Structure 1
Amino acid sequence: MSTLLPLPFALPLLVAALGMVVRNHRRLQRALTAAMLLGLIGVGAGLVAATSGGRAIAIDVGDWPGGLAITFVSDGLSALLVLTVTVSAALALLFAVSRDEDRHPLFHPMVGVLLAGVLGAMLTADLFNLFVMFEVMLIGSYVLLTLRGGRRQVRAGVIYVTVSLLASTTLLVGIALLYGTAGTVAFADLHGIVAEVPAAAVGASLVMAAIAVKASLVPMHSWLPRTYVEAAPGVTALFSGLLTKAGVYVLYRLYSIVFAGDPSYQQLWLTVAGLTMVVGVLGAVGRGDMRGILAYHMVSQVGYLILPLGLWSLAGLTAGIVYLVQYVLVKGALFVAVGTVETLTGTGRLKELGGMVRTRPWLALSFLLPALALAGIPPTSGFVGKYLLIRAAFLDAHWLAGAVAVVVSMFTLLSMIKIWNGAFWGELTDRSRREPLAARFGLRPVPAGAAGDDGPAVQKAPTNARVAGMVTPAMIVSLLVIVLGIGAQPLIELVEPAAAALLDPSTYLEAVRSL
């Protein structure tokens, strides 16, 4: 089974290269991407089966001696995330294709490059290779962000690439300092080095700070809401399930191995998690556009995802992984739902919308259930994850952290109600009326893509089949959040050994050292 480990990195790159060869044949590009995603889902499922129960597998790529070989390793956490983010990417791409966002010949190749970087980061066992994976992610994400070519997209791209390059430089400096003090950058040789070699703490801290930027932790978060809202809706949905989640995964892995869960850092993690929750949710409450609200919630929810680093207990880590798995899908579904609204009406501004529950009830439902999951309302999967997190915080007597998580959930619900009331409830507005009436005549005098596209255009209204394709990903997730909410026990049982392996990474390390 270890022979599967290079595929999540190699297969998307191969498909990206083939996509460039057939760049003038969009149907063939779509077929290649679909085949890639199906293959990756199969590989992810195989890795989950191979690593269940706390097992780990590893492989060296190439006939290189120890210390130089490119090593891939997977345990329960990385395998589960490989599967989850691939499913999330498949749903986002179904939405993007339904919106015809893949008109540019670079779209499908760059999706492959982005996936290769994200999945490679989740499987690498070497800090320098981790740096390489993040740079691969940067290439794909920057091109996808700016494909539409408008002024605002280019400006957002400049912000994104500038922040990313600064973080990458910091990451490289931290890796160099660790190499200078430890003589290696392999995870297996860095276990607990921060406590054993105090000088290594500087390098390790720089590495963690750089990853914190990529995960959008406060106070290094402002780049995310300024850039994600300018991408095409399908690209935003794709980013939401991939980019910051890769950063969160790396924070878990490095704190488990390099810092060995050093308790002296736990209060820092609790503080950063609380601030990230609060600042993100307040930013969301203050926005008046749907994607802006959701972008700030990406910041806020990352606070929940790193809260387990401050708890560093079996209950806390289990809760964090359960919440992470369902959140990857929920956030993508929300961006799909609001992106569909933007496509149908030409705007994401709440003051111009209203009453769409009457014209598009299935679209309203596809937003409502993931929104309830994001706020942690029963019987959704989000309730299970947040309940487990808050319970773990209170069990460890972290009363303030638990209380902040509860209060932020209430504000999250308020902002979801704000979108619901603004876009779906209330009286029909001119924008909301326009789509179904114009659709009868086959015309739609609104911006060519979603809110944020440059210049008006008159185009054919989306057919019912295309609208169904746009809504289907969110409806699938809506079903999943109820299934995982009511029947969460199998997921918890699958996740618990992965959480235990973070507390005691001996199996992970032994799999690498035995190569």
Structure 2
Amino acid sequence: MSHDILAALLPAFLWLPILLAAAALLARRSPALQRALALAVHALALGGAITALVTVSDGSVIAEQVSGWDAGISIPFVLDTFSALMLSVAALMVLVCTLFAVFTGDDADPYFHPLVLVLSAGVYGAFLTGDLFNLFVMIEVALIPSYVLLTRSGRPAAMTAGRIYFGVNLFVSAVLLAGVGMVYGSAGTVNMAELAGAAAESPAVGLATGVVLLALGAKAALVPVHTWLPRSYPFASVAVTALLSGLLTKIGVYGVFRVYGLIYEGTGLETLWLVVLLATMIVGVLGALGESGMRSILSFHMTSQVGYIMLPLAFFGPLGMAAGIFYMVHHIIVKAALFLACGAVEHHAGTGKLSQLGGYARREPWLGLVFILAALSLVGIPPMSGFVAKMSLIRASLDAGLYIAAACAIVVSLFTLLSMLKIWNGAFWGADPEPVKETVQLAPAATAPDVTDPAAGRLSRKFSRTAPSSPDRVPRRLILPAALLVVCTISIGLGAEVLMGLATTAAEGLSDTTSYTEAVMAQ
């Protein structure tokens, strides 16, 4: 596709999902039509993102001033290898998680698909914008539907989690907006291309940008502002948890990479990054070891893995950033696969508490295989993508002389293995648990069983089945989404040179921002 045509189509990643969200809302009395509209948009977004990635895979940068307004007035949308890569993996996550919701019946809520479409529009816009204020706006566009998706079951546990999620994100968004205002007040612009290298030239801009980085780090769930994530994500439905894990925290990571690379030019905060990120890796994995619910364990792991992804900020450069970008793509895919595999168990058993599960590897060997392959990839066992991701990160740490970072990455991987074995032994291995005889009234047949409280292992009062086990089999369609993602992680591991090549090109664009700034300023 030519650069001019692609540039003109960039805003469609934002307006098309929002427009179709309105159409899906009008079609809420026709679930089949809603599903068809939503899945068509998600598939179209994935195809468009892959096309965009192929177009800019040579390192070229495409910029578009939205609606043709002059630079300095309009909002720039910028596509480079990094943003195209993130667009592609985000669109894949939206499509796969929506399929899981369709298979479980979680999309029976007529507002599910419109909310997911708006959320995806915000995420795509955040990856494409070249304007700090618009980055804030796009984050809020993605967050608003997530508040509803998290709490829509109405369960007390979900409402409590929603209050935590809403309160923390509202405060952090206020800090982010204040930081953006400080940047504008000190530099006179929020255009990221115009701000390139400004932190080194002006301490005031550097301080203001530090506030922006602090807010984005909180949205990425870095220690010490990480506890909101494991206290909120496990209480949504499985599809929503997987969706949020792959999208919202990664906006924060993407924003930190982009802002730090452009405005700080990757220097000035190395020691601070090293301390924070090593602490994030360690605290996250230790928190996972202390949990008893599948999704609670995986949620703490999200924090730990964000530490891995962002570790190259402590030694900013093409090699380290390539490892970080590769790791982020790997993590988004594998973490969603784990959430969906455990979600299939939880949907079938009616609980996510390990003490009430067991024997799924024997009864459902395909599901057991999908989980163990995804778990091994998370740990970093060859030939999975996790092995390439961690080895690249460790190599980059050693080349930078940060032996403590390399050692920490190895040790944390061992604890990651222990926590994965905890889920494996609790849910997939061993004998079947004694069935719980207490049941509650079933919901209408068209509505899927609500998820349990993963931390407490309690059934929702709205739905039930005999728990924690059932004689019927896990439907194959529930295993399919996680299996597709496992195929992706194996393919990435076996053909790592393809993704590593793209990650290297993206990292070079972050390390040398000349092409980015020239493309935007030429508009």
**Range class of TM-score, shorter chain:** over 0.9
The correspondence for 1:19, drawn from 21, 24, 32, is 24
Which residue does the alignment assign to 1:144?
A: 149
Partner residue in 2 for 1:96: 101
Deviation at 1:63, TM superposition (A): 3.7
CA RMSD between the two structures: 2.1
Deviations 1:239-275 (A, max 9, x none): 111011111111100011011112x211111111100
**Aligned counterpart in structure 2 of residue 203 of structure 1, from 195, 204, 208:** 208
Per-residue CA deviations over 1:142-165 (Å, capped at 9, x if unaligned) read 011011111111111111111111
Q: Any idea what SS the aligned residue of 1:414 has? A: helix
Residue 428 of structure 1: how far off its partner (Å)? 1.6
- The structure 2 residue matched to 1:4, chosen from 5, 9, 33, is 9
Measure the CA separation in 1 of the matches of 2:412 and 2:222. 16
What does the per-residue CA deviation read over 1:277-303, in whole Å, with 9 as the maximum and x for residues that have no partner?
000000000001100000000000000
Q: Would you say 1:184 and 2:184 are equivalent positions?
A: no
Q: What does 1:41-440 align with in structure 2 at a 5 Å threshold? A: 41-262=46-267, 264-431=268-435
In the alignment of these two chains, the number of paired residues is 505
SS of structure 2 residue aligned to 1:418: helix
Offset at residue 4 of structure 1 (A): 2.2
CA separation of 1:421 and 1:113: change in aligned 2, threshold 3 A: same
Corresponding residue SS for 1:58: strand
User: Tell me, what secondary structure is at the counterpart of 2:203?
Assistant: coil
Whether the 8 Å CA contact 1:156–1:230 is kept in 2: the answer is yes
SS at match of 1:72: strand
Q: Percent identity?
A: 46
Going by fraction, where is helix more abundant, 1 or 2?
A: 1
Question: 2:39 matched to which residue of 1?
Answer: 34
Do the aligned partners of 1:354 and 1:432 also contact (CA within 8 Å) in 2?
Answer: no
Unaligned residue ranges in structure 1 (runs of 5+): 435-442
Matched, 1:508 2:516: yes
Q: Is the 8 A contact 1:99 1:466 kept in 2?
A: no
Which letter maps to 1:68?
I
Deviation, 1:193, is: 0.8
Q: Residues 364 and 473 of structure 2 are in contact (CA less than 8 Å); yes or no, is this contact kept in structure 1?
A: no
Runs of 4+ in 1 over 4 A off after TM superposition: 431-434, 458-466
Question: For structure 2, which runs of at least 5 residues remain unmatched after alignment?
Answer: 1-5, 439-443, 454-458
TM-score (norm 2): 0.93
The 8 Å contact of residues 344 and 474 in structure 2, kept in 1 or not, is answered as no
Q: CA deviation at 1:43?
A: 0.9
* Conservation of the 8 A alpha-carbon contact between 1:355 and 1:425: yes
Q: Which deviates more, 49-58 or 281-290?
A: 49-58
Tell me: CA distance 1:319–1:367, structure 2 relative to 1, closer, same or farther (3 Å).
same
Aligned counterpart in structure 2 of residue 491 of structure 1, from 493, 499, 503: 499
Partner Cα separation in structure 2 for residue 83 and residue 316 of structure 1: 22
Task: Find the residue that maps to 1:156 and give its secondary structure.
Answer: helix
Shift of 1:458: 5.0
Cα pair distance change 1:266/1:79, threshold 3 Å: same
The CA deviation at 1:464 is 8.7
Taking the aligned partners of 2:463 and 2:202, their CA distance within structure 1 comes to 62
Counterpart of 1:398, as a letter, is L
1:449 maps to which residue?
450
Distance 1:458 1:269 in 2: 46
Equivalent position amino acid for 1:261 in 2 = G
- Paired residue type of 2:499: L
Identify the residue that residue 481 of structure 2 maps to in structure 1.
473
* Alignment-mate amino acid for residue 352 of structure 2: G
